[in-house]
Structure 1
Amino acid sequence: MSNVLRFPDLPERAPTKTKGPQVEDGYTRIANELLDALCVADFTNREFRVVNFIIRQTYGWGTKQKRLASTFIAGGTGLHATDCSKVLNELIRRQVVVRHGGSRAPVSLNKRHTEWLAAESRKKSAPDSCPQSGQDALTQSGQDALTKKDRKDINTSPYGEESTAGADDEQTLAVENTKSETLPPAEPKAASLPNCPHQAILDQWAEIMPEKRQPLRSLWTGSSAGSRALAARWKQGFSIINEQTGDALYADEATGIDWWGRFFKFLRRSEFLMRDDSRFFGLDWIVKAENFRKIMEFKYHPELTGGDA
Protein backbone atom coordinates (compact mmCIF):
# COMPACT_ATOMS: atom_id res chain seq x y z
CA MET A 1 0.00 0.00 0.00
CA SER A 2 1.43 3.35 -0.97
CA ASN A 3 1.81 6.11 1.59
CA VAL A 4 1.76 8.77 -1.11
CA LEU A 5 -1.20 11.12 -0.84
CA ARG A 6 -2.84 11.44 -4.26
CA PHE A 7 -5.13 14.27 -5.25
CA PRO A 8 -7.96 13.73 -7.74
CA ASP A 9 -7.34 14.89 -11.26
CA LEU A 10 -8.23 18.56 -11.64
CA PRO A 11 -9.14 20.30 -14.87
CA GLU A 12 -6.26 22.24 -16.35
CA ARG A 13 -6.45 26.02 -15.97
CA ALA A 14 -6.33 28.16 -19.00
CA PRO A 15 -2.98 30.00 -19.10
CA THR A 16 -3.27 33.53 -17.78
CA LYS A 17 -1.98 36.40 -19.86
CA THR A 18 1.08 38.02 -18.34
CA LYS A 19 0.69 41.78 -18.09
CA GLY A 20 4.12 42.49 -16.63
CA PRO A 21 4.78 44.70 -13.59
CA GLN A 22 1.77 46.75 -12.57
CA VAL A 23 1.60 49.83 -10.31
CA GLU A 24 -1.37 48.33 -8.50
CA ASP A 25 0.91 45.50 -7.37
CA GLY A 26 3.06 47.99 -5.44
CA TYR A 27 5.24 50.97 -6.21
CA THR A 28 7.90 53.20 -4.62
CA ARG A 29 7.03 56.86 -4.24
CA ILE A 30 9.99 59.24 -4.42
CA ALA A 31 10.33 62.94 -5.16
CA ASN A 32 11.56 63.77 -8.66
CA GLU A 33 14.21 66.11 -7.28
CA LEU A 34 15.67 63.30 -5.23
CA LEU A 35 15.50 60.89 -8.14
CA ASP A 36 17.31 63.44 -10.33
CA ALA A 37 20.04 63.73 -7.70
CA LEU A 38 20.44 59.95 -7.64
CA CYS A 39 20.79 59.89 -11.42
CA VAL A 40 23.84 62.18 -11.37
CA ALA A 41 25.40 61.00 -8.09
CA ASP A 42 28.89 59.58 -8.37
CA PHE A 43 28.16 56.13 -6.96
CA THR A 44 30.02 52.91 -7.57
CA ASN A 45 28.02 49.94 -8.78
CA ARG A 46 27.85 48.52 -5.26
CA GLU A 47 26.89 51.83 -3.70
CA PHE A 48 24.12 52.34 -6.25
CA ARG A 49 22.69 48.89 -5.52
CA VAL A 50 22.72 49.45 -1.75
CA VAL A 51 21.17 52.94 -2.07
CA ASN A 52 18.37 51.59 -4.26
CA PHE A 53 17.75 48.73 -1.85
CA ILE A 54 17.41 51.20 1.04
CA ILE A 55 14.94 53.26 -0.99
CA ARG A 56 12.96 50.13 -1.84
CA GLN A 57 12.81 49.01 1.81
CA THR A 58 11.85 52.45 3.14
CA TYR A 59 9.90 54.53 0.63
CA GLY A 60 8.68 51.32 -0.99
CA TRP A 61 6.93 50.42 2.27
CA GLY A 62 5.76 53.93 3.06
CA THR A 63 8.29 54.51 5.84
CA LYS A 64 11.26 56.87 6.15
CA GLN A 65 13.69 54.56 7.92
CA LYS A 66 14.18 50.87 8.52
CA ARG A 67 16.58 48.58 10.31
CA LEU A 68 18.57 46.65 7.70
CA ALA A 69 21.13 43.99 8.59
CA SER A 70 24.02 43.38 6.19
CA THR A 71 22.79 39.86 5.49
CA PHE A 72 19.36 41.25 4.55
CA ILE A 73 20.91 43.84 2.23
CA ALA A 74 23.04 41.10 0.69
CA GLY A 75 19.93 39.05 -0.09
CA GLY A 76 18.37 41.99 -1.93
CA THR A 77 21.44 43.21 -3.81
CA GLY A 78 23.38 40.04 -4.62
CA LEU A 79 26.44 41.41 -2.83
CA HIS A 80 28.42 39.66 -0.14
CA ALA A 81 27.33 40.63 3.39
CA THR A 82 30.87 41.80 4.14
CA ASP A 83 30.78 44.18 1.17
CA CYS A 84 27.33 45.42 2.17
CA SER A 85 28.67 46.41 5.58
CA LYS A 86 31.61 48.28 4.04
CA VAL A 87 29.50 50.00 1.38
CA LEU A 88 26.86 51.03 3.94
CA ASN A 89 29.55 52.51 6.18
CA GLU A 90 30.97 54.47 3.25
CA LEU A 91 27.52 55.81 2.32
CA ILE A 92 26.99 56.88 5.92
CA ARG A 93 30.39 58.59 5.96
CA ARG A 94 29.50 60.43 2.75
CA GLN A 95 26.17 61.47 4.35
CA VAL A 96 24.17 59.81 1.61
CA VAL A 97 22.64 57.48 4.19
CA VAL A 98 21.78 58.41 7.79
CA ARG A 99 21.89 55.94 10.66
CA HIS A 100 19.48 56.86 13.45
CA GLY A 101 21.35 55.54 16.49
CA GLY A 102 23.77 52.64 17.03
CA SER A 103 25.33 50.27 14.56
CA ARG A 104 22.14 48.21 14.22
CA ALA A 105 19.77 51.15 14.28
CA PRO A 106 17.41 52.04 11.41
CA VAL A 107 18.87 53.77 8.36
CA SER A 108 17.37 56.10 5.79
CA LEU A 109 18.33 57.97 2.65
CA ASN A 110 19.42 61.53 3.39
CA LYS A 111 16.95 63.43 1.22
CA ARG A 112 19.00 66.61 1.60
CA HIS A 113 21.12 65.62 -1.36
CA THR A 114 23.16 68.83 -1.22
CA GLU A 115 24.78 67.41 1.92
CA TRP A 116 26.08 64.34 0.11
CA LEU A 117 29.86 64.29 -0.03
CA ALA A 118 31.52 63.89 -3.42
CA ALA A 119 33.35 60.74 -4.41
CA GLU A 120 36.65 62.63 -4.20
CA SER A 121 36.26 62.55 -0.43
CA ARG A 122 36.42 58.77 -0.31
CA LYS A 123 38.91 57.26 2.06
CA LYS A 124 41.86 55.43 0.55
CA SER A 125 40.33 52.19 1.73
CA ALA A 126 37.08 52.73 -0.15
CA PRO A 127 34.78 49.68 -0.07
CA ASP A 128 35.06 48.92 -3.79
CA SER A 129 38.84 48.75 -3.60
CA CYS A 130 38.67 45.90 -1.12
CA PRO A 131 38.54 42.28 -2.31
CA GLN A 132 35.54 40.25 -1.30
CA SER A 133 36.09 38.29 1.84
CA GLY A 134 34.10 35.91 3.99
CA GLN A 135 35.21 37.86 7.02
CA ASP A 136 34.16 41.40 7.70
CA ALA A 137 36.99 43.77 8.59
CA LEU A 138 34.38 46.34 9.63
CA THR A 139 32.46 44.07 11.92
CA GLN A 140 28.79 43.79 12.56
CA SER A 141 27.77 44.98 15.99
CA GLY A 142 26.04 42.76 18.48
CA GLN A 143 23.97 45.69 19.66
CA ASP A 144 20.92 47.56 18.58
CA ALA A 145 20.10 51.25 18.70
CA LEU A 146 20.10 52.27 22.31
CA THR A 147 17.63 54.99 23.25
CA LYS A 148 16.97 55.84 26.90
CA LYS A 149 15.45 58.75 28.79
CA ASP A 150 17.91 61.29 30.06
CA ARG A 151 19.07 60.44 33.56
CA LYS A 152 21.16 62.18 36.17
CA ASP A 153 24.29 61.05 34.36
CA ILE A 154 24.56 61.48 30.62
CA ASN A 155 23.54 58.22 28.95
CA THR A 156 26.48 57.01 26.91
CA SER A 157 27.54 53.68 25.52
CA PRO A 158 30.99 52.24 26.26
CA TYR A 159 31.93 53.48 22.81
CA GLY A 160 31.44 57.10 23.80
CA GLU A 161 28.86 58.20 21.20
CA GLU A 162 25.99 60.39 22.38
CA SER A 163 23.39 62.60 20.74
CA THR A 164 20.15 64.35 21.70
CA ALA A 165 16.95 62.85 20.36
CA GLY A 166 14.60 65.81 20.53
CA ALA A 167 12.30 67.65 22.90
CA ASP A 168 12.13 64.81 25.40
CA ASP A 169 15.92 64.80 25.76
CA GLU A 170 16.39 61.17 24.77
CA GLN A 171 19.99 60.14 24.35
CA THR A 172 20.80 58.09 21.26
CA LEU A 173 23.79 55.90 21.74
CA ALA A 174 25.90 55.24 18.64
CA VAL A 175 27.79 52.04 19.12
CA GLU A 176 30.66 50.47 17.34
CA ASN A 177 31.46 46.99 18.47
CA THR A 178 34.16 44.60 17.32
CA LYS A 179 33.63 40.86 17.65
CA SER A 180 36.50 38.80 18.93
CA GLU A 181 36.40 36.49 15.92
CA THR A 182 36.88 39.28 13.37
CA LEU A 183 40.07 40.91 12.24
CA PRO A 184 41.00 43.79 14.56
CA PRO A 185 41.97 47.12 13.06
CA ALA A 186 45.67 47.76 12.83
CA GLU A 187 46.99 49.20 16.06
CA PRO A 188 49.00 52.42 15.99
CA LYS A 189 52.66 52.10 16.76
CA ALA A 190 53.21 51.77 20.48
CA ALA A 191 55.61 54.69 20.51
CA SER A 192 52.84 57.05 19.30
CA LEU A 193 50.46 56.20 22.14
CA PRO A 194 50.49 58.15 25.40
CA ASN A 195 51.20 56.15 28.54
CA CYS A 196 48.21 54.99 30.54
CA PRO A 197 47.21 57.73 33.05
CA HIS A 198 46.55 55.27 35.87
CA GLN A 199 45.95 57.82 38.60
CA ALA A 200 43.58 59.93 36.50
CA ILE A 201 41.48 56.86 35.68
CA LEU A 202 41.49 55.84 39.36
CA ASP A 203 40.24 59.34 40.16
CA GLN A 204 37.36 58.84 37.71
CA TRP A 205 36.52 55.51 39.34
CA ALA A 206 36.54 56.99 42.84
CA GLU A 207 34.25 59.85 41.80
CA ILE A 208 31.73 57.79 39.80
CA MET A 209 31.80 54.51 41.79
CA PRO A 210 32.28 55.67 45.40
CA GLU A 211 30.27 52.78 46.83
CA LYS A 212 32.27 50.10 45.04
CA ARG A 213 35.65 48.61 45.94
CA GLN A 214 38.40 51.21 45.61
CA PRO A 215 41.80 50.06 44.33
CA LEU A 216 44.81 50.51 46.59
CA ARG A 217 46.63 53.08 44.50
CA SER A 218 50.09 52.00 45.55
CA LEU A 219 49.39 48.61 43.95
CA TRP A 220 48.25 50.14 40.65
CA THR A 221 51.63 51.34 39.53
CA GLY A 222 54.60 49.74 37.85
CA SER A 223 54.24 46.10 36.83
CA SER A 224 51.41 44.99 39.12
CA ALA A 225 48.69 42.81 37.58
CA GLY A 226 46.03 45.52 37.82
CA SER A 227 48.35 48.16 36.39
CA ARG A 228 49.31 45.97 33.43
CA ALA A 229 45.68 45.07 32.69
CA LEU A 230 44.53 48.69 32.81
CA ALA A 231 47.41 49.72 30.53
CA ALA A 232 46.41 47.00 28.06
CA ARG A 233 42.78 48.15 27.99
CA TRP A 234 43.92 51.78 27.67
CA LYS A 235 45.99 50.86 24.63
CA GLN A 236 43.09 48.83 23.21
CA GLY A 237 40.90 51.93 23.18
CA PHE A 238 43.12 53.47 20.50
CA SER A 239 42.39 50.56 18.13
CA ILE A 240 38.64 50.00 18.64
CA ILE A 241 37.01 51.78 15.70
CA ASN A 242 33.58 53.37 15.74
CA GLU A 243 31.63 52.12 12.72
CA GLN A 244 29.66 55.34 12.55
CA THR A 245 32.57 57.79 12.49
CA GLY A 246 35.52 55.65 11.44
CA ASP A 247 37.49 57.03 14.40
CA ALA A 248 38.99 55.30 17.43
CA LEU A 249 37.33 55.56 20.85
CA TYR A 250 39.91 58.20 21.74
CA ALA A 251 43.01 59.71 20.17
CA ASP A 252 45.00 61.23 23.02
CA GLU A 253 45.29 61.30 26.80
CA ALA A 254 42.60 63.95 27.38
CA THR A 255 39.92 62.28 25.26
CA GLY A 256 40.93 58.90 26.72
CA ILE A 257 40.42 60.03 30.32
CA ASP A 258 37.09 61.55 29.34
CA TRP A 259 36.01 58.29 27.66
CA TRP A 260 36.84 56.20 30.74
CA GLY A 261 34.73 58.53 32.87
CA ARG A 262 31.76 58.08 30.55
CA PHE A 263 32.49 54.35 30.44
CA PHE A 264 32.14 54.13 34.24
CA LYS A 265 28.85 56.07 34.05
CA PHE A 266 27.65 53.55 31.48
CA LEU A 267 28.49 50.71 33.89
CA ARG A 268 26.29 52.31 36.54
CA ARG A 269 23.31 51.59 34.31
CA SER A 270 23.75 47.83 34.73
CA GLU A 271 21.43 46.52 37.45
CA PHE A 272 23.46 43.30 37.59
CA LEU A 273 26.79 45.02 38.17
CA MET A 274 25.46 47.65 40.56
CA ARG A 275 23.47 45.36 42.83
CA ASP A 276 24.56 45.30 46.48
CA ASP A 277 25.79 41.71 46.47
CA SER A 278 28.02 42.04 43.39
CA ARG A 279 31.20 42.11 45.45
CA PHE A 280 33.20 40.83 42.49
CA PHE A 281 32.58 44.09 40.62
CA GLY A 282 35.59 46.36 40.78
CA LEU A 283 38.13 48.03 38.53
CA ASP A 284 40.38 44.97 38.69
CA TRP A 285 37.48 42.84 37.34
CA ILE A 286 36.60 45.34 34.58
CA VAL A 287 40.08 45.56 33.06
CA LYS A 288 40.46 41.81 32.60
CA ALA A 289 40.38 41.15 28.85
CA GLU A 290 37.45 38.71 28.88
CA ASN A 291 35.28 40.87 31.17
CA PHE A 292 36.06 44.02 29.19
CA ARG A 293 35.01 42.26 25.98
CA LYS A 294 31.71 41.14 27.53
CA ILE A 295 30.98 44.67 28.73
CA MET A 296 31.64 46.07 25.25
CA GLU A 297 29.24 43.46 23.84
CA PHE A 298 26.52 44.58 26.32
CA LYS A 299 26.42 41.23 28.13
CA TYR A 300 25.58 43.10 31.34
CA HIS A 301 23.13 45.53 29.75
CA PRO A 302 20.48 43.21 28.25
CA GLU A 303 17.84 45.91 28.42
CA LEU A 304 19.78 47.91 25.82
CA THR A 305 20.18 45.22 23.18
CA GLY A 306 17.79 44.59 20.30
CA GLY A 307 16.38 41.36 19.03
CA ASP A 308 16.96 41.05 15.28
CA ALA A 309 20.23 40.59 13.42
Structure 2
Amino acid sequence: MSTVTPIQPRSGFTRMDNDLYEALIGAELSGRELRVALAIHRQTAGYNMESACIAASYIAQMSGIRREDVSRAISELLRQGVINREGGSRSPIGFAPVGEWKIDKKNTHPNKPKGAPQCGVSSTSNVAFLPHNKERNTNTTPDGVVADAERQPVEPKATRQKLTVDACPYQAIVDLYHQALPELPAVAILNPGRKRTLQSRWRESDVHRDLGFWADYFFQVKTSDFLMGRVPGRNGSKAFRATFDWLIAPSNFVKVVEGNYHA
Protein backbone atom coordinates (compact mmCIF):
# COMPACT_ATOMS: atom_id res chain seq x y z
CA MET A 1 0.00 0.00 0.00
CA SER A 2 1.41 3.40 -0.99
CA THR A 3 2.29 5.83 1.82
CA VAL A 4 2.26 8.85 -0.52
CA THR A 5 -0.73 11.10 0.07
CA PRO A 6 -2.28 11.91 -3.35
CA ILE A 7 -3.07 15.50 -4.25
CA GLN A 8 -6.75 16.30 -3.98
CA PRO A 9 -7.60 18.60 -6.92
CA ARG A 10 -10.90 19.57 -5.34
CA SER A 11 -9.26 21.03 -2.23
CA GLY A 12 -6.53 22.74 -4.27
CA PHE A 13 -2.77 22.67 -3.93
CA THR A 14 0.19 25.05 -4.21
CA ARG A 15 3.25 24.14 -6.24
CA MET A 16 6.65 25.32 -5.02
CA ASP A 17 9.74 25.74 -7.16
CA ASN A 18 12.33 23.12 -6.13
CA ASP A 19 15.14 25.65 -5.78
CA LEU A 20 12.99 27.80 -3.51
CA TYR A 21 11.82 24.75 -1.53
CA GLU A 22 15.36 23.53 -0.92
CA ALA A 23 16.61 27.04 -0.13
CA LEU A 24 13.93 27.47 2.56
CA ILE A 25 14.84 24.08 4.03
CA GLY A 26 18.52 25.01 4.29
CA ALA A 27 18.11 28.65 5.32
CA GLU A 28 18.90 29.55 8.94
CA LEU A 29 15.61 31.37 9.44
CA SER A 30 13.81 31.64 12.74
CA GLY A 31 10.55 29.75 13.19
CA ARG A 32 8.49 32.91 12.77
CA GLU A 33 10.44 34.01 9.70
CA LEU A 34 9.90 30.63 8.02
CA ARG A 35 6.16 30.60 8.84
CA VAL A 36 5.73 34.13 7.47
CA ALA A 37 7.70 33.17 4.34
CA LEU A 38 5.41 30.18 3.77
CA ALA A 39 2.35 32.39 4.25
CA ILE A 40 3.69 34.82 1.64
CA HIS A 41 4.30 31.93 -0.75
CA ARG A 42 0.75 30.69 -0.21
CA GLN A 43 -0.68 34.12 -1.03
CA THR A 44 1.49 34.59 -4.14
CA ALA A 45 2.30 31.28 -5.83
CA GLY A 46 -0.94 29.86 -4.46
CA TYR A 47 -2.79 32.27 -6.74
CA ASN A 48 -0.29 32.07 -9.63
CA MET A 49 1.17 35.50 -8.84
CA GLU A 50 4.79 36.54 -8.39
CA SER A 51 3.88 39.22 -5.86
CA ALA A 52 0.84 40.48 -4.01
CA CYS A 53 -0.26 43.10 -1.49
CA ILE A 54 -0.54 41.12 1.74
CA ALA A 55 -1.52 42.79 5.00
CA ALA A 56 0.45 41.81 8.10
CA SER A 57 -2.87 41.33 9.90
CA TYR A 58 -3.90 38.70 7.34
CA ILE A 59 -0.64 36.76 7.77
CA ALA A 60 -1.14 37.02 11.53
CA GLN A 61 -4.57 35.44 11.14
CA MET A 62 -3.16 32.65 8.95
CA SER A 63 -0.17 31.84 11.14
CA GLY A 64 -1.41 32.61 14.63
CA ILE A 65 1.52 34.99 15.11
CA ARG A 66 0.93 38.42 16.64
CA ARG A 67 0.66 41.19 14.06
CA GLU A 68 3.64 43.15 15.38
CA ASP A 69 5.77 39.97 15.28
CA VAL A 70 4.67 39.38 11.68
CA SER A 71 5.80 42.91 10.80
CA ARG A 72 9.18 42.25 12.41
CA ALA A 73 9.55 38.96 10.54
CA ILE A 74 8.72 40.65 7.23
CA SER A 75 11.34 43.33 7.94
CA GLU A 76 13.92 40.63 8.69
CA LEU A 77 13.07 38.70 5.51
CA LEU A 78 13.37 41.91 3.50
CA ARG A 79 16.70 42.76 5.12
CA GLN A 80 18.09 39.30 4.38
CA GLY A 81 16.93 39.46 0.76
CA VAL A 82 14.57 36.49 0.99
CA ILE A 83 11.63 38.59 -0.17
CA ASN A 84 11.50 41.90 -1.98
CA ARG A 85 9.10 44.78 -2.18
CA GLU A 86 9.18 47.90 -4.31
CA GLY A 87 7.88 50.78 -2.25
CA GLY A 88 6.61 51.00 1.30
CA SER A 89 4.88 48.68 3.72
CA ARG A 90 1.71 48.44 1.60
CA SER A 91 3.39 47.61 -1.71
CA PRO A 92 3.28 44.16 -3.37
CA ILE A 93 5.65 41.61 -1.89
CA GLY A 94 7.21 38.51 -3.42
CA PHE A 95 10.20 36.17 -3.22
CA ALA A 96 13.63 37.29 -4.39
CA PRO A 97 15.89 34.99 -6.45
CA VAL A 98 17.55 32.42 -4.19
CA GLY A 99 21.01 33.51 -5.34
CA GLU A 100 20.43 37.00 -3.86
CA TRP A 101 19.60 35.81 -0.35
CA LYS A 102 21.92 36.97 2.44
CA ILE A 103 20.85 34.92 5.46
CA ASP A 104 22.33 35.79 8.85
CA LYS A 105 24.50 33.14 10.49
CA LYS A 106 22.42 32.62 13.62
CA ASN A 107 24.39 29.62 14.96
CA THR A 108 27.40 31.50 16.32
CA HIS A 109 28.49 28.71 18.69
CA PRO A 110 29.32 25.61 16.63
CA ASN A 111 29.77 22.35 18.46
CA LYS A 112 33.34 21.62 19.46
CA PRO A 113 34.77 18.24 20.49
CA LYS A 114 34.98 17.91 24.23
CA GLY A 115 38.45 17.48 25.67
CA ALA A 116 39.20 14.48 27.85
CA PRO A 117 39.02 15.31 31.59
CA GLN A 118 42.27 15.26 33.55
CA CYS A 119 42.42 12.29 35.84
CA GLY A 120 44.68 11.07 38.62
CA VAL A 121 45.72 7.41 38.91
CA SER A 122 45.43 5.45 42.14
CA SER A 123 48.20 2.94 42.97
CA THR A 124 45.68 0.64 44.64
CA SER A 125 42.86 0.80 42.14
CA ASN A 126 42.30 0.75 38.42
CA VAL A 127 39.58 3.42 38.75
CA ALA A 128 40.53 6.89 37.54
CA PHE A 129 39.56 9.81 39.76
CA LEU A 130 39.46 13.57 39.27
CA PRO A 131 42.13 15.54 41.12
CA HIS A 132 40.84 17.71 43.95
CA ASN A 133 41.09 21.38 43.14
CA LYS A 134 42.45 22.13 46.61
CA GLU A 135 45.43 19.77 46.43
CA ARG A 136 48.77 21.44 47.10
CA ASN A 137 52.36 20.50 47.77
CA THR A 138 53.54 20.71 51.37
CA ASN A 139 56.94 20.51 53.07
CA THR A 140 56.96 18.71 56.40
CA THR A 141 59.56 18.29 59.18
CA PRO A 142 60.69 14.82 60.37
CA ASP A 143 58.06 14.86 63.12
CA GLY A 144 55.29 15.46 60.60
CA VAL A 145 54.67 19.16 61.26
CA VAL A 146 53.96 21.25 58.18
CA ALA A 147 56.75 23.74 57.75
CA ASP A 148 55.52 25.55 54.68
CA ALA A 149 52.78 25.23 52.12
CA GLU A 150 53.11 26.18 48.51
CA ARG A 151 49.79 27.41 47.19
CA GLN A 152 48.77 26.43 43.72
CA PRO A 153 48.49 29.47 41.46
CA VAL A 154 44.90 30.59 40.97
CA GLU A 155 43.92 31.32 37.40
CA PRO A 156 41.99 34.56 36.93
CA LYS A 157 38.31 34.17 36.25
CA ALA A 158 37.30 34.63 32.66
CA THR A 159 35.71 38.01 32.12
CA ARG A 160 32.37 38.06 30.39
CA GLN A 161 32.38 39.80 27.07
CA LYS A 162 29.60 42.30 26.73
CA LEU A 163 27.57 42.15 23.55
CA THR A 164 28.18 45.30 21.55
CA VAL A 165 25.29 47.07 19.85
CA ASP A 166 25.89 49.25 16.83
CA ALA A 167 25.67 52.92 17.62
CA CYS A 168 22.38 54.53 16.69
CA PRO A 169 22.69 56.47 13.37
CA TYR A 170 20.74 59.47 14.66
CA GLN A 171 21.30 61.78 11.70
CA ALA A 172 20.53 59.07 9.12
CA ILE A 173 17.15 58.41 10.77
CA VAL A 174 16.38 62.14 10.84
CA ASP A 175 17.33 62.36 7.15
CA LEU A 176 14.90 59.52 6.33
CA TYR A 177 12.20 61.39 8.25
CA HIS A 178 12.81 64.56 6.23
CA GLN A 179 12.88 62.66 2.91
CA ALA A 180 9.65 60.75 3.55
CA LEU A 181 7.69 63.41 5.44
CA PRO A 182 8.53 66.92 4.21
CA GLU A 183 4.95 67.96 5.10
CA LEU A 184 5.60 67.44 8.82
CA PRO A 185 7.59 69.80 11.08
CA ALA A 186 11.31 69.52 10.39
CA VAL A 187 13.90 68.56 13.01
CA ALA A 188 16.12 71.61 13.37
CA ILE A 189 18.15 70.48 16.41
CA LEU A 190 19.17 66.92 17.20
CA ASN A 191 19.48 67.51 20.93
CA PRO A 192 20.55 64.98 23.61
CA GLY A 193 16.93 64.24 24.56
CA ARG A 194 16.02 63.21 21.02
CA LYS A 195 19.20 61.14 20.76
CA ARG A 196 18.35 59.26 23.96
CA THR A 197 14.82 58.50 22.74
CA LEU A 198 16.08 57.37 19.33
CA GLN A 199 18.73 55.19 20.93
CA SER A 200 16.06 53.50 23.07
CA ARG A 201 13.97 52.68 19.99
CA TRP A 202 17.11 51.51 18.15
CA ARG A 203 18.10 49.09 20.92
CA GLU A 204 14.62 47.68 21.58
CA SER A 205 14.83 45.10 18.81
CA ASP A 206 17.14 43.72 16.13
CA VAL A 207 14.46 44.76 13.64
CA HIS A 208 14.75 48.41 14.70
CA ARG A 209 18.51 48.37 14.12
CA ASP A 210 18.03 48.65 10.38
CA LEU A 211 17.57 51.85 8.38
CA GLY A 212 15.26 49.94 6.04
CA PHE A 213 12.85 49.50 8.96
CA TRP A 214 12.85 53.26 9.60
CA ALA A 215 12.26 54.03 5.93
CA ASP A 216 9.19 51.75 5.99
CA TYR A 217 8.10 53.22 9.33
CA PHE A 218 8.03 56.78 7.98
CA PHE A 219 6.35 55.60 4.76
CA GLN A 220 3.60 54.04 6.87
CA VAL A 221 3.13 57.41 8.58
CA LYS A 222 2.83 59.09 5.17
CA THR A 223 -0.09 56.81 4.21
CA SER A 224 -2.09 57.84 7.29
CA ASP A 225 -4.49 60.75 6.80
CA PHE A 226 -4.75 61.14 10.55
CA LEU A 227 -1.01 61.35 11.25
CA MET A 228 -0.45 63.66 8.28
CA GLY A 229 -3.10 66.13 9.47
CA ARG A 230 -5.56 65.45 6.67
CA VAL A 231 -8.41 64.57 9.05
CA PRO A 232 -10.39 67.57 10.38
CA GLY A 233 -10.41 67.99 14.14
CA ARG A 234 -13.51 67.42 16.21
CA ASN A 235 -15.90 70.31 16.79
CA GLY A 236 -13.91 72.57 14.48
CA SER A 237 -10.62 72.07 16.32
CA LYS A 238 -7.31 72.07 14.50
CA ALA A 239 -6.38 68.80 12.82
CA PHE A 240 -3.76 66.67 14.59
CA ARG A 241 -0.43 66.39 12.83
CA ALA A 242 2.38 64.12 14.02
CA THR A 243 5.83 65.45 14.83
CA PHE A 244 9.21 63.70 14.97
CA ASP A 245 9.15 63.69 18.79
CA TRP A 246 5.62 62.23 18.80
CA LEU A 247 6.59 59.47 16.38
CA ILE A 248 9.62 58.29 18.37
CA ALA A 249 7.94 58.43 21.80
CA PRO A 250 7.61 54.87 23.27
CA SER A 251 3.81 54.49 23.35
CA ASN A 252 3.21 56.30 20.06
CA PHE A 253 5.93 54.29 18.32
CA VAL A 254 4.18 51.04 19.25
CA LYS A 255 0.83 52.40 18.06
CA VAL A 256 2.20 53.31 14.63
CA VAL A 257 4.07 50.01 14.20
CA GLU A 258 0.93 48.05 15.12
CA GLY A 259 -1.41 50.34 13.18
CA ASN A 260 -3.32 51.02 16.39
CA TYR A 261 -3.90 54.74 16.08
CA HIS A 262 -6.99 56.72 15.18
CA ALA A 263 -8.51 60.17 15.37
Q: Which category describes the TM-score, using the shorter chain as reference length?
A: 0.3 to 0.5
Q: TM-score, normalised by structure 2?
A: 0.42
Q: TM-score, normalised by structure 1?
A: 0.37
Greater relative contact order (Cα < 8 A, sep 6+)? 1
